[in-house]
Structure formats: structure tokens, C-alpha cells
Structure 1
Amino acid sequence: MRYTDAPARRDELLRRLSAEGYVSSSRVADELGVSEMTIRRDLRQLEAEGLARRVVGGASLPNLGHGRPFDERAVTGSGEKHTIAEACLQLLDGAVTVALDAGTTVAPLAGMLPAGSTIISHSVPVIQAAIARDDVELVAVGGVYQNETRSFAGSAARRTIADYSVDVAVLSATAVDRSGILCANALDAELKQELARAARTTVLLVDHSKLGARAPIRVGGLDLVDIIVTDAGADPDDLRVLREIGATVVVAGETVDALSTAGDAGVDVS
């Protein structure tokens, strides 16, 4: 079907953005029977109207309040985030190659992993922390720089990650609910998916404010990860909902239960 009428074409772009959170300029141009330049012009217009946000290769939904600056997010709930990272560390015993996602909850792990670890990351704060150590190996993943997440993304980053076999990937997210794992950046979502594919075990770190929250882009279902680690501020109802639909959730501070739960989930990084 050809969309030669601009209003109808932009309506279709908005429909796809609402359904998928992201559109690829090249793919949608082919599917709508118009040039990629035409689609880029449409996306520029939608961005000017505040209805889309152009990113490399296409467009995503506007941030809708989720895209706070990294430094602002880093100091929000920093104590809880360190507690979550420490709880995650207990689940990594035996892991040698650990991939760390971009995110303020994951970043503290770069300074906590034991000597001899190999760290793979596209996160600038993680890369900087690993460079400051002389007792870990670092695989720094490059690509298109994303200021919002202070990380690299894009096809080059995905190809690099795909070349590695990872013991454990530690992911972050903007939100988690019964539908799955959500974020606010389409390129970030692609990297999370690639990290999960590369890993034998995947752990998701989210502070309690992310449980039951919303974000525009779906990374995947809860089965994308093996364990979710959160903090003691989590609403019991949010925990109950996640556990009732099969998610393995660890609450930081419940050390014995955490290790037991990891074993029950079949997590094996030896």
C-alpha cells in the first residue's frame, strides 16, 4: 500500500510509534512505498510538533518525562542503588565475564566486581570506572554516543556484544510491570536485548520506583531475565504481581533468601 498523502502517512507513522515505540526510517519507507527522504521529512515534522523524537535510523516516542539527565538520576536514590548492586554482587559468584548495561543502578558494580573479572560495557561511567582499576579486563563497546544514557549504541555496539560469550549480563530498565521490561530509548532497548542474548544468565536491577511504572518502549517480557533485584522500598503488591506471573524477584537485604532464590531459579555461573 502506498501512502502518497502526507497527513495519512504521518498518521500511520504515529500509529506505529504508539504500537512499537520506535520506527526505522528505511523499513517504514519500504513498507509504505515512499522514499526514505520522505519519511525523514515526516519525522522532522512530527518532532517539531512534539509527537516524535528522531534518533539514529528512525524515531521513537518522546521521552514523556522518563529521560532525566544521567547525573540527576545518579543521585536520586543513590543509597538504594548501591544496596541493589551489592545484592547483585552476591549472585555473581563464579562469573568471570560480566556485561554491564548502561544505567545508574548498574554502574556501581564496575567498582565492586572481583579482581580478574572481564567487564564488557557500552556505558561510559562503567568504562571509566574499569579503566581506573588495574585488576580487571575491560572490553569497551563503542558506537553512536547517547548523551541521555551516557552510553554507546547502534549497529557497531550490537555487533561487538554479539561476538562475546558472557557469563552474566546485568541490565537496567526504566520500568517493569506485568507486561515486561520497558525503557525510554529505542537504541538502548536493542542493546539490552543483545546483552541478554549473549549471556548465560541475565539479572535485572531496578529500584522500587521502577516497579509498576510506565515507559514507551518494550524491551521484552519478564522471561528475558532470570532474576530481578530491587530494594526494600518495593511495594508488596508490586512484588506479588511479578512473582505471581513467574518472575524471580530478590529484595536487597534479604541475603539468605536471595542466594536461595538464585539457586531455585537455576542460575549457574560456574
Structure 2
Amino acid sequence: LSYGRVLSSKSRIISINRSRQQATKNERLFWSADVVIEADIASTLTQIAAVLRSDPDYKGYASSEWLSSLSERDTQQELSIQTKSLQNTTDSKLNPLRVLYALDKVLKEDSIIVVDGGDFVGSAAYIVRTRGALQWLDPGAFGTLGVGAGFALGAKLVYPNRDVFIIYGDGSCGFSLMEFDTFERHALNIIAIIGNDACWSQIAREQIKIFDDDTGVNLKHVHYEEVNRAFGGLGMLLSSDTDTDKLDKFFENVIEQSNSKRKSAIVNVIIGKTDFRDGSISV
């Protein structure tokens, strides 16, 4: 939100935070609060909503025209993403968007999805539908990579009968990949999908453009699936040799094997480059 630069000068701003210091942080750079409420955000909004609904003159939060325009924008964006998912990548490897659509198609409604990565995870956020509250766990606003296996371990112990998935980038998986030994020792059938483009892509994209330097961003197409085989788990390689029309069947088979054998699984997906997230940056 550019520290509030995008807010209209005509807007009335209400800042809510448990900490008054945080509620007024960055104030007067581009905005000033008309009202500061020192309270829990969720509780405050819930109470405001309850008061509004109890008012017989309350007409709703927004006009139907505005809501329709938002819905239309979402529809157009979804069509654009679907179109990009059918395009060939610049290096003839699997289109990551197509892979993610296939994964989303086979996930059950009670599945818990843990994401840990940059570019591949950023793409997943557009495509893989959150099944419900507390069923999407990610590194948060500050991008604290490395949470993947730990979050998945906790989720599986709390909900042992649900499918738990980790969507990794190939850079971020290195922070917690060894926990698959833990998964095997405790017979936790957690499934990881690693988007492997041999690169810290979210950083590389703008670093190379701005500095003309690829220091520290290039990786290798490591056979991560073999790591889990060494632990006694399942490991599968998904590459351009795979029939792209049967990607959903491939994932269904992985889920069936993992669940029936009570073993963790790593699917190492060799993905190509697309322009889908051009302009996204992380430093």
C-alpha cells in the first residue's frame, strides 16, 4: 500500500490496533487518522458489523454495481491466468500455472495447504483455492521462509485424517527438507510439491534487471525426490516428459500412494519460466 500513498486524500481513515504506537505508525507521511481505536481488530470489526446489521435502515456494505464490477475484474483475471497456463514456457519445461491448476483440481475440501516459497508460491496463491479457514498456512507478510515442514508437521498432528500438502519453491525447500526424516519416522503421510526452476526467481527477476548481476540467485535442478527416497519415503519426478493432459491423474496417484502406504511424498516438478509474475519483487 506504499505506506498509505495510495489512499485518497478525501478518505476518512480509521486506524485500529491493539497498540496505539502501531496504529499511528507511518502516520503523516501520506495519511492521518481521523479516528484511532486502541483495540483488537477482529473483535472491533465484528462488533461494528453487528451494530450495522441491527440497524433497520442499513442497506448493505456496498452497491450491487460496485460488487458486480469487482466480480467482473476477478473473472477477467481468472481468464487471463487460464490462458497463460496453456502457453509454452520460454525454456520448454512444464508451465507452473498448468501444474498448479491440476493440483487444485484434486485437492479435497478438508485439505490443509502449507506454502513456503517465493515465485512458485506466489503463483499458487492465485490458483490453488483455499478450502476454508485455517487451511492455508504461509510465511506471512514478511516472507519468513522455512516454515513449511514445521507448519505441516503441526497440522498433521492436529488433523491426522486430513491431507496435508506443502507447496515449496526449490530455494525455500532447503530450509526444512530434512524434516521429511521426521515425517517418515512418525509415519506422517505429508505430500510436498516442489516447483523446481533452479533459481530464486522472485529475487532474480528484478535483481538481474536492475543490477545486471545474477550473483546468488541461480541454483541447480537437484533431484529432491531422491532425498525422500533416502529417508524411506516416496519420491516422484514430474517433467516435460509427463503427459500434461494427465497431470491431475498424476497427483491423484501420488495422494493415493501416500495415504495407502502411510508415507510422505515429494513431487519434484521441473518448471519453466513464464512472465506471469513480472514486476513482483523480493529483496
Q: TM-score, normalised by structure 2?
A: 0.34
Which of structures 1 and 2 has the bigger CA Rg? 2
**Structure number having the greater strand percentage:** 1
Q: TM-score, normalised by structure 1?
A: 0.36
